[in-house]
Amino acid sequence: MRTLYYSHPDFLLHNTGAGHPECTDRLRAITSALDQPAFAKLLRKVPPMGSNQQIQLIHPLTYIQRLQSTLPVQGLHYLDPDTVLSSGSITAAFRAVGAVCDAVDQLMTDQADNAFCAVRPPGHHAEPTQAMGFCLFNNVAIAAEYARLHYHLKRIAIVDFDVHHGNGTQTAFYQQPQVLYASSHEMPNYPGTGYPTETGAGNIINVPLVAGDTGVTFRKKYAEIILPALYAFKPDLLLISAGFDAHRDDPLAAIKLVADDFRWVTEALMDVAEEACAGRIISVLEGGYNLKALAANVAVHVKTLLGD
């Protein structure tokens, strides 16, 4: 497989302060793992800066301007107890949007088969007009809408295996049947959304897990609920909100996945993409807060995307 890998030093400019789980060391751990010889085949691409026009596909200009106006010159500004701005946060967030939109361009013009975007800040909790849950701009939602409008795609699927429900992504597409959003997540847990009864226009699939669930339950629910829905939907492009905080060692949740479960779900999603959309997958980093586990799980995920 021709797998693109997006990362950039700008993602380290988003400083969340001492002790914050969504820290710069997350990206350093991933970079170290993917700089190993086993990943020599990765197509490493410098992401461009995103634009206001791209971000406005999901977030109104007034929201972007509000974030920019509250950016601190020094120190930190807390949007809420979890979500922090530093002087470099908007630069990082714009660069993240540029990465995911460029990945869409590359895949839709057959320059690559799939992509992994190691970006921060993450995005799936960001509502159209509200930053929350460590997230400023909803990277995956922007990529989906960018692909839909610029390449006239009829069906885009987003699969979110982060342990926390992607409330922002669900909100963005709740009444948009051209976008299928499927999420597995621990409940009860932050942000308190993601009940199976939340179905939108029939395009929202929420599959809750409970504390202590292992890969056995995770795989069973994907095999019985999410994967059949994806095959039936036949997406023209598959996006992944790739959170690795459902791992058994993660400090922010209590699901007990292991690295092989992330390999399994990646392979399963690749099989869907191979049948439906010529293998086109864009995977975008979300959570994962145990540094050792995060690096190992990302390595497994990317190695699988490479076809190794």
Given a contact cutoff of 8 angstroms between Cβ atoms, the answer to whether 119 and 96 are in contact is: yes
CA 152 to chain centre: 22
What count of Cα atoms within 13 Å lies in the side-chain half-sphere of residue 235? 32
Cα–Cα distance measured from residue 109 to residue 278, given in angstroms and rounded to the nearest whole number: 12
Q: Which of 125, 164, 165, 301 is catalytic?
A: 125
Strand order in the sheet with 43-45: 43-45, 3-6, 114-117, 281-285, 237-242, 156-160, 179-186, 204-209
89-108 and 61-69 helices, crossing angle to 10°? 140
Q: Is 164 a catalytic residue?
A: no
Active site residues: 125
